[in-house]
Structure 1
Amino acid sequence: MASSNLLLLLLLQALLILLSPASAAGSNVFAEYIGAEFKGVRFSDVPINPGVNFHFILSFAIDYTTSSNPPTPTNGRFNVFWDSANLSPSQVAAIKREHGNVKVAVSLGGDSVSGQPAYFKPSSIDSWVANAVDSLTTIIKKYHLDGIDIDYEHFQADPNTFAECIGQLLTRLKSNGVISFASIAPFDSAQVQSHYLALWRKYGHLIDYVNFQFYAYDASTTVSQFLGYFAKQSSNYNGGKVLVSFTTGGSGGLSPQNGFFRACRTLKSQGKLHGIFIWSADDSKSNGFRYEKQAQTLLAS
């Protein structure tokens, strides 16, 4: 009798976990890049819906020097290039304490450093991985971070070298318990895709989310085109959780004004909406984060 009661209790607990809105296997992820543009935005400025898995992504940590002008590559020795005055270790700890559904990651690379392209430029696979594991472990522990995002956009290394460097980095950080999740942030460029697809083919099992930059498509993108792009990238990153995205910085892609949320509702009805991310909180501050609220409401419903 006692064993059957215990079994019933375990089944009820499992059912409650499955029904919990914040546990839907990562299917309601809302992610927001923050800190790249030094506009004074803080974590506490951004509205956080308790019904989503919320990821702040600090932008960026880059393996370039902070002291030289211009900055030069450091072969995997990462430095902080985000607005650390407003997004400090104590502020990371505070926002996670206040909101149990919040995790914080750091994005690596980005488009530029001091106005110049930020290149992925390792001296060798082994030396880059050793330096990256060491320097990122220090940053991640200091800032109480949970994950990393890979957002290199310029390369002075072939796709296989990129795949091995990043793949071995993810392997080490995950096996060491330093991070609990990882994402990549490719966009539709032949050079970019060749590098990220090489990584995906060999190390896709270590990548939890594909933060595909749909806002890198043309600003004239229609809802039907957007859904086609989503299908294409879901096929490219087969088996991955491809998150949809838009920018509040006024550049390309399908905007909220032109039907982004209509496209999201279509994907949600098909069971394909894994999450939404926005570039970026820095730009959204001026409009009161209206689209952040709308995106999270849609995911949480």
Structure 2
Amino acid sequence: MEFPKLFLTLLIIESLFIPQMQVQASPTNSNLFREYIGAEFKNVKFTDVPINPSVEFHFLLSFTIDYDTSAFPSPTNGKFNIFWDSENLSPSQVSSIKNAHSNVKVGLSLGGDSVANGFAFFSPSSIDSWVSNAVSSLTKIIKQYHLDGIDIDYEHFKGDSNTFAECIGQLISTLKSKKVISFASIAPFDDNQVQKHYLALWKNYGNQIDYVNFQFYAYDKGTTVSQFMDYFHTQSSKYKGGKVLASFISDGNGGLSPQNGFFTACNMLRSQQQLHGIFIWSADDSKANGFCFEKQSQALLAAPQ
């Protein structure tokens, strides 16, 4: 049977306006390993940390903070300064570790818990001025240190969640568009105020965020494997579509520890195609035990699937 040309034309036009099904990519495992370094001034160097050549390895310098002493009493104006152990983690040492290991990238983490014997608050006076100052000051540091990306680890807030979302979202978008950075991550934890701010950022700028370094070690010490799995799936549903990384703290003060089943949980996530990577807080504390859990984490990530 032959259809009239007009009918065929209408069919074609209609098909153009039928919503297409959204095909969601299947979750996949990753060999990404990330490590915070430099916050506790324990003389740890990049070269102290074992690096498995079969993983993607990110060092995260901790921290750079928008704390400008010249602007007291309102120091959080987007003018970032270095607060990590820059004597042991210098620009030349960044270049050296990256030249020695082609699988290594180095980023910097913004914010942290404290500065100058007080909390490191996110408290900008305006979105536009904060973003402008932050782009300028961070670009200078990133280029000086030959860095690849940034991590957002603000934990205390005086501004509202929308201001945080716009400041951080515009910062990440601008640095990426200018090709100053190649990756960006966020580091929330399960606290109502913290989640309110990061979920607002995720809602508006989630497509600009490559990894979610969720601080699972902020849960109670003694967390079980089953609890960890519940926490992981809960947070993955909140940061839907994001690459949520498994994590632990190397001093054993919170969350699911390696001794109590962290790697069991990672293997379970791997079997579910949800092990997007592992990160550790921090190299400074791991130095005392010879980085044994860094070696174990990377061996798991590098193992054939």
Q: TM-score, normalised by structure 2?
A: 0.88
Letter paired with 1:40: N
Deviations 1:34-90 (A, max 9, x none): 00000000000000001111000000000003579x986240000000000000000
1:1-301 counterparts in 2 under 5 A?
A: 27-65=30-68, 73-301=75-303
3-state SS of paired residue (1:242): coil
Whole-angstrom CA distance in 2 between matches of 1:33 and 1:66: 25
3-state SS of paired residue (2:202): helix
The structure whose Rg is larger is 2
Letter paired with 2:243: K
Aligned-residue offset at 1:28: 1.3
Structure 1 regions of 5+ residues with no counterpart? 1-24
3-state SS of paired residue (2:246): strand
Whole-angstrom CA distance in 2 between matches of 1:47 and 1:191: 36
Letter paired with 2:240: N
Q: In the comparison of the two structures, how many residue pairs are matched?
A: 277
Assess, with a 3 A threshold, how the Cα gap between structure 1 residues 51 and 66 changes in structure 2: closer, same or farther: farther
Letter paired with 2:295: K
3-state SS of paired residue (2:109): strand
Whole-angstrom CA distance in 1 between matches of 2:252 and 2:117: 19
Assess, with a 3 A threshold, how the Cα gap between structure 1 residues 66 and 59 changes in structure 2: closer, same or farther: farther
Aligned-residue offset at 1:114: 2.4
| Equivalent pair of 1:64/1:71 in contact (CA under 8 Å) | no
Whole-angstrom CA distance in 1 between matches of 2:229 and 2:116: 35
3-state SS of paired residue (2:245): strand
Q: TM-score, normalised by structure 1?
A: 0.90
| Equivalent pair of 2:68/2:77 in contact (CA under 8 Å) | no
Aligned-residue offset at 1:100: 0.2
Aligned-residue offset at 1:250: 2.6
Q: Supply the RMSD in Å over aligned alpha carbons.
A: 1.6
Runs of 4+ aligned structure 1 residues displaced above 3 Å come to: none
Aligned-residue offset at 1:251: 1.0
Whole-angstrom CA distance in 2 between matches of 1:275 and 1:30: 6
Aligned-residue offset at 1:249: 2.1
- Percent identity (aligned): 73
| Equivalent pair of 1:95/1:102 in contact (CA under 8 Å) | yes
Assess, with a 3 A threshold, how the Cα gap between structure 1 residues 72 and 282 changes in structure 2: closer, same or farther: farther
Structure 2 regions of 5+ residues with no counterpart? 1-27
* Mean CA deviation greater in 25-34 or 166-175: 25-34
Whole-angstrom CA distance in 2 between matches of 1:258 and 1:267: 16
Aligned-residue offset at 1:220: 1.9
Whole-angstrom CA distance in 2 between matches of 1:34 and 1:55: 10
Give the corresponding residue for 1:21: none
Whole-angstrom CA distance in 2 between matches of 1:171 and 1:110: 21
Assess, with a 3 A threshold, how the Cα gap between structure 1 residues 71 and 218 changes in structure 2: closer, same or farther: farther
Letter paired with 1:120: F
Whole-angstrom CA distance in 2 between matches of 1:40 and 1:262: 32
Whole-angstrom CA distance in 1 between matches of 2:284 and 2:53: 22
